[in-house]
Structure 1
Amino acid sequence: MDELKNFRVFADLKPDDLKKLGGLVRTIDYGAEELLFMEGAPAFGFYLVFSGAVKLVKRSSKGKSQILKIVGPGGLVGETTLFDKGLHNAYAKTLIPSKIGFIERGDFFYFLEHYPKTVFRFFEHISQELKAFQNKLAERSYASSKERLSRLILALDRLQLELSRAELAEMAGVSSKTAIRTLGELESRGIVAIDNRRISVLKEDYLKRLIEPFTVPSDEAVII
Structure 2
Amino acid sequence: MPILHGCDDAVLDALEHEARFVRFGSGAAVFERGSVPTGLFFVFSGGVRLMSQCPEGRSKVVEIFEPGGMFGEIGVFTGQRYRTWTQAIGSTVLVHVPRACMLEAVAMDNALSNRMLGAVCARIQRLIDSISSTASGTASVRVASYLLEQLERTLRPDGCIILPAPKKAIASLLNLTPETLSRVLRTMMEEGVLTVGGRRIHIRNRAQLAQMVAAEAVAPTA
TM-score w.r.t. the length of structure 2 is: 0.80
RMSD of aligned alpha carbons: 2.6
Residue segments in structure 1 that go unaligned for 5+ positions in a row: 1-5, 215-224
The aligned counterpart of 1:221 is: none
Deviates more, 1:45-54 or 1:163-172: 163-172
Q: Provide closer, same or farther for how the CA distance between residues 135 and 152 of structure 1 changes in structure 2, counting only shifts above 3 A.
A: closer
Q: Deviations over 1:199-221 (max 9, x none)?
A: 4224152334444689xxxxxxx
Cα separation, 2, equivalents of 1:49 and 1:96: 12
Rg larger in structure: 2
What's the secondary structure of 1:73's corresponding residue?
coil
Deviation by residue 1:145-175 (Cα, 9 ceiling, x = unmatched):
1121123345567462354443222111123
Please list the CA deviations of residues 9-32 of structure 1 after superposition, one character each: whole Å capped at 9, or x if unmatched.
x23313554344223321112232
CA distance in 2, matches of 1:166, 1:52: 17
C-alpha contact 1:190 1:202 (8 A) present in aligned 2:
no
Distance in 2 between residues matched to 1:20 and 1:46, nearest whole Å: 13
Partners of 2:18 and 2:101 within 8 A in 1: yes
Aligned partner of 1:65 in structure 2 is 59
Q: Partners in 2 of 1:155 and 1:204 — Cα distance?
A: 14
| Residue identity opposite 2:195 in structure 1 | A
SS of structure 1 residue aligned to 2:189: helix
DSSP 3-state at the match of 1:184: helix
**Aligned with 2:190 (options 188, 191, 198):** 188
For 1:61-140, list aligned pairs within 5 A: 62-140=56-134
Corresponding position of 2:144:
150
Consecutive unaligned residues in structure 2, runs of 5 or more: 155-160, 217-222
| CA distance, structure 1, for counterparts of residue 167 and residue 119 of structure 2 | 29
Q: Distance in 1 between matches of 2:169 and 2:46?
A: 17
**2:180 pairs with one of 178, 181, 185:** 178
Measure how far apart 1:38 and its partner are: 0.9
